[in-house]
């Protein structure tokens, strides 16, 4: 077993005042510090989408940080879904708006 638990994937939809406040940059830097792979993007409806893969325990820490968000943001809700890691990502990056 890897440190931090078995590999998993987290899909999170973040709602609140999360665009125009550096949320994607915050998520990218936090993920890279934790060694998580995947990406983050703004959605046209004002939400932010995060797809992340890594050890389940580390992803749990990441999720808690996503709920806090950056200074100046206001996270109202984080909808989470857990699946099996695909291993499809090489790093964590900011993706284009969808």
Q: Out of 17, 24, 57, 67, pick the active-site residue.
A: 24
Whether residue 29 lies in the annotated active site: no
Whether residue 42 lies in the annotated active site: yes
Alpha carbon of residue 46 to chain centroid: 16
Q: Out of 17, 29, 42, 91, pick the active-site residue.
A: 42
Give φ, ψ of 48 to 5 degrees.
-120, 135
- Helix orientation angle between 23-34 and 56-68, rounded to the nearest 10 degrees: 150
| Residues 46, 97, 12, 69, Cα dihedral to 10° | -60
Contact predicate 15/77, CB 8 Å: yes
Active site residues: 24, 42
């Amino acid at each position: 077993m890897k440190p931090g638990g078995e590999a998993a994937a987290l899909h999170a939809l973040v709602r609140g005042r999360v665009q125009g406040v550096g949320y994607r940059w915050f998520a990218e830097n936090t993920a890279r510090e934790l060694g998580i792979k995947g990406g983050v993007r703004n959605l046209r409806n004002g939400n932010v989408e995060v797809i992340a893969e890594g050890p389940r325990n580390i992803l749990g820490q990441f999720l808690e940080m996503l709920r806090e968000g950056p200074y100046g943001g206001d996270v109202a809700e984080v909808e989470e879904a857990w699946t099996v890691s695909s291993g499809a990502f090489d790093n964590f990056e900011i993706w284009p708006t969808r």
